[in-house]
Chains A and B, each alone.
Chain A
């Protein structure tokens, strides 16, 4: 299963991945428009940064995903290695936020917090492959096979 991996030592903390992520999920085709209209930006990748460390984190699509096991509504499933959120089923209880060890599932600002959102590898969006990886100029996030389920 191909997954998104972080190469922490290559990350410059430029936040481009956040932009590409929001853009990929937004359905807008013009990037400048997408961000200038004051729309809610809801990236599914999170940058952590301090003085000298930066890295991007997104859903690990865990081998044994606690979020899927814990979801009270059956809104999270894992198929073919990818953990997916079915927003129509989600009731926004945030049990998944409580259990995800990586902080990779978050209230969806676009729905006013009524559902949650997470990385789905762009497989359901127009991009078809992770937009963050494609957009990262430094190969600090890569999409590759490392033998995980």
Chain B
């Protein structure tokens, strides 16, 4: 059996592990245009900050490719798939055959069309190792940094750069930071915390026009800059599948075995796909690493002739900013149950007798996974001690029988 995997990041690695659980000998070829041993993308900000070395960024040990008998073709880009002859073509004109193909091409930064953007010399996106290397070369204690986008990536960039310069401004069209993962109250708490480090926010506005070293905002203000970071969002890399008629709708559409709809023997996993969010019952891009790994893992098992389904995706995030952590999951609709402590915040969202989502900050994050399991399993809340769970996540809230099963090894 010949397996070809495009992309050597979380989804691709998940697939290698999935394949090798069932097929120890089949040929695995892994192709990536990034010329690096598999590394953890989220760690680029930790590297920039100086908390992690390049060696420490490796997502799997150096021996991973040899131990798993993976033929890694790094620094090569796949330009097209020939589904009839079952081959992929690379940018150096080489061709590789496949029996089963996985597209794990991830996402690219979305670059907004802003007037005068081409005049800005030092502009960077914040997605890849090469991006942060380039930022590192320009960054000094006199740098004036403007970050467009107050989402997770923009704020991780800000956190990494604060140790270099105290001149950092983050702007966002939204009126609040982390708009995609936090509600208003929680955004406010995080904004307040981050501002104490000297990072400035300009919200509810965007750039009207750039000159080389100035951004003029729609509200009339202007900001001096010599480093611009574009972190407004990501878009899935779907072109390869689009070109051969696979189903794409702002993300590659797969079934729950990760097989691409409309094609045969071709799978897709990770940031390039759309997932079904069980908490909102809608299809959306869930661009997080655990989702990518698990989708890739399911794809790999199916590619190797096993049976695996990925049926319980939902958005979730864990991130710390300047020492204050957030943990969130699911969707934020339904009845709200809020609690505030000295160093923490908690909001649980309940609808239809289920925990639909939650937001936890600071000292409320402990044992969060117990809440996440209620979201993942969509456990009927009348079967558990809800009053206790509203107070804190505890296994005590589950029926004794359930505990016996889970903690007594009966399952």
Of A7, A50, A93, A107, the most chain B CB neighbours within 10 A belong to A93
Residue of A nearest to B410 (CB): A146
Given the complex, which residues of A lie within 8 Å of B119, measured CB to CB?
none
Within A56-79, the residues touching B (CB, 8 Å) are 57, 60, 66, 69-70, 72-74
- Once bound together, how far apart are the Cα atoms of A6 and B61, in whole Å? 34
Contact of B365 (CB < 8 Å), options: A3, A6, A46, A97: A97
A35 CB–B CB distance under 8 Å = no
- Once bound together, how far apart are the Cα atoms of A14 and B48, in whole Å? 47
CB distance from A3 to the nearest CB of B (A): 6
CB<8 Å pairs between A and B, sample of 24: A3-B409, A5-B409, A8-B400, A53-B400, A55-B403, A55-B407, A69-B14, A69-B293, A70-B289, A72-B42, A74-B60, A91-B43, A93-B320, A95-B289, A95-B318, A97-B318, A98-B317, A98-B369, A101-B370, A101-B372, A103-B393, A113-B323, A113-B325, A146-B408
Given the complex, which residues of A lie within 8 Å of B319, measured CB to CB?
93
B241 CB–A CB distance under 8 Å = no
- Once bound together, how far apart are the Cα atoms of A106 and B289, in whole Å? 20
Q: Given A73-B40, A91-B52, do A5 and B290 touch, yes or no (CB 8 Å)?
A: no
Q: Given A69-B294, A69-B297, A103-B393, do A74 and B40 touch, yes or no (CB 8 Å)?
A: yes
Q: Given A55-B403, A70-B293, do A94 and B320 touch, yes or no (CB 8 Å)?
A: yes
- Once bound together, how far apart are the Cα atoms of A95 and B372, in whole Å? 11
B381 CB–A CB distance under 8 Å = no
Given the complex, which residues of B lie within 8 Å of A66, measured CB to CB?
290, 369
**Chain B interface (Cβ within 8 Å of chain A)?**
14, 40, 42-43, 46, 51-52, 56, 58-61, 289-290, 293-294, 297, 316-320, 323, 325, 327, 329, 365-370, 372-373, 376, 388, 393-396, 400, 403-404, 406-410
- Once bound together, how far apart are the Cα atoms of A91 and B404, in whole Å? 34
Q: Given A97-B366, A99-B372, do A5 and B407 touch, yes or no (CB 8 Å)?
A: yes
Given the complex, which residues of A lie within 8 Å of B365, measured CB to CB?
94, 97, 107
Within A80-125, the residues touching B (CB, 8 Å) are 88-89, 91-103, 105-107, 113
- Once bound together, how far apart are the Cα atoms of A99 and B302, in whole Å? 24
- Once bound together, how far apart are the Cα atoms of A53 and B407, in whole Å? 15
- Once bound together, how far apart are the Cα atoms of A103 and B392, in whole Å? 11
Interface residues on A, range: 35 or more
Q: 7 nearest interchain CB pairs?
A: A103-B367, A70-B290, A101-B373, A100-B369, A146-B409, A98-B318, A95-B318
CB distance from B269 to the nearest CB of A (A): 13
Within A1-27, the residues touching B (CB, 8 Å) are 3, 5-8
Given the complex, which residues of A lie within 8 Å of B367, measured CB to CB?
46, 97, 103, 106
B403 contacts A92, C-beta separation under 8 Å = no
Given the complex, which residues of A lie within 8 Å of B368, measured CB to CB?
94, 97-98, 103
CB distance from B373 to the nearest CB of A (A): 4
Given the complex, which residues of B lie within 8 Å of A88, measured CB to CB?
56
Residue of B nearest to A62 (CB): B406
